[in-house]
Amino acid sequence: MSDAVRDYGATVEALKSGLRLRADPIALKLFESTDVLDTIKGLRRPEAGVHFSMCQLIGQVRWLGWTLGITHDNVMPNSNCGGVPGLNAPAPKYLDGTMFHNVWFATVEAAREHQAQMPRVPAGKYHALVASPLAKGRLDPPDAVLIYATPGQMMLLVNALQHRRYFRADFTVTGETACADSWGRGLATGEPSISIPCFAERRFGGVQDDELLVSLRMEHIDEALTGLDWLAQRGIRYPIPPYGPQCDPAKAFQHNYAGKL
């Protein structure tokens, strides 16, 4: 399907049907100029002088359904937040380990290494980011799509992505600032990027205790939808009914592996 004529609402409904998602996927797009913000339908901007963490901004889109445009002036000043999507360079106090020392890390060296290994979009090219519910189709096409899912939903989503062209899905966890592993890495590389949301994402962004987060491109979502249908035809669907730890699994295996045992 061409992105130019895509029915994003139908795509979201298919994802929600196949995975029983509790939250609508979120589209992200980076822009080199802030001028484009005025052309996006329904766009909101944070009030002047009000600052948010990136996880709060994503949370507003997720929980309130807003289309939200930001620049580095809208995120917490001199923080990591704008640095993850490349809206500004991280402040020196983060990079040298000073900020996280004696908060998240017992040594300056550990805090500094945490920053050194953090995936980020390189600073300098992009000056604005817009997030919007994918179903609204206002970012066509998005650079990344965020999907919040339980571990069981995420597992089946990965199975669907693997069904025709296998790849080993790397699952990275920076720790605090784990948004770098999901939307930061996804925006920087375009690769499927799964992570466990961090303390701040849960405290400020409203991420639920049983949720993981993945960043995908639209072509990954197309492949996942094809894979979910293909797996469903073979009896592999969500939700996954428990068979029981004391039952002989032979009957269940015969259903899926008939003639192979």
The two three-digit tokens of residue 156, written as one number: 């089946």
pLDDT given at position 79: 81
Helix (H) or strand (E) holding 131: strand 128-133
Burial (CB count within 10 angstroms: exposed 0-12, middle 13-18, buried 19+), residue 38: exposed
pLDDT given at position 4: 55
User: What is the pLDDT averaged over residues 71-84?
Assistant: 89
Q: How many CB atoms within 10 Å of residue 32?
A: 11
First CA to last CA distance, the chain: 39
SS3 (DSSP) at 86: coil
* DSSP result, 161-192: HHSSS-----B---STTGGGTTHHHHHHH-S-
Which backbone phi and psi does 33 adopt, to 5 degrees? Answer: -125, 145
Is the pLDDT assigned to residue 115 strictly greater than 80? yes
β-pairing, 43-44 with 67-70? Answer: parallel
pLDDT, one tens digit per residue, over 201-222 is 999 999 999 999 999 999 999 9
User: What is the pLDDT averaged over residues 220-249?
Assistant: 94
User: What is the pLDDT averaged over residues 236-256?
Assistant: 89
β-pairing, 43-44 with 128-133? Answer: unpaired
SS3 (DSSP) at 25: coil
Q: Pick the range with the lowest mean pLDDT from 8-17, 54-63, 106-115, 240-249.
A: 240-249
CA separation, residue 147 to residues 2, 24, 107, 171, 237 (Å) = 21, 7, 34, 15, 18
Burial (CB count within 10 angstroms: exposed 0-12, middle 13-18, buried 19+), residue 74: buried
The two three-digit tokens of residue 205, written as one number: 């962004």
**Stronger pLDDT, 215 or 243, i.e. the higher one:** 215
pLDDT given at position 133: 98
**What is the DSSP-derived secondary structure letter of residue 90?**
P
pLDDT, one tens digit per residue, over 38-60 is 999 999 999 988 999 999 999 99
Is the pLDDT assigned to residue 3 strictly greater than 50? no
Q: Pick the range with the lowest mean pLDDT from 4-18, 98-112, 213-227.
A: 4-18
Distance CA 103, CA 231 (A): 45
Is the pLDDT assigned to residue 2 strictly greater than 80? no
Domain boundaries defined on the chain: 3-240+249-257
Distance CA 238, CA 228 (A): 9
User: What is the pLDDT averaged over residues 150-167?
Assistant: 97
The two three-digit tokens of residue 58, written as one number: 């994503």
pLDDT given at position 1: 42
The two three-digit tokens of residue 236, written as one number: 């592999």
Q: Tell me which residue of 62, 31, 60, 33 sits closest to 45, measured CA to CA.
A: 60
Q: What percent of the chain has pLDDT over 90?
A: 85
Distance CA 104, CA 174 (A): 12
pLDDT given at position 231: 97
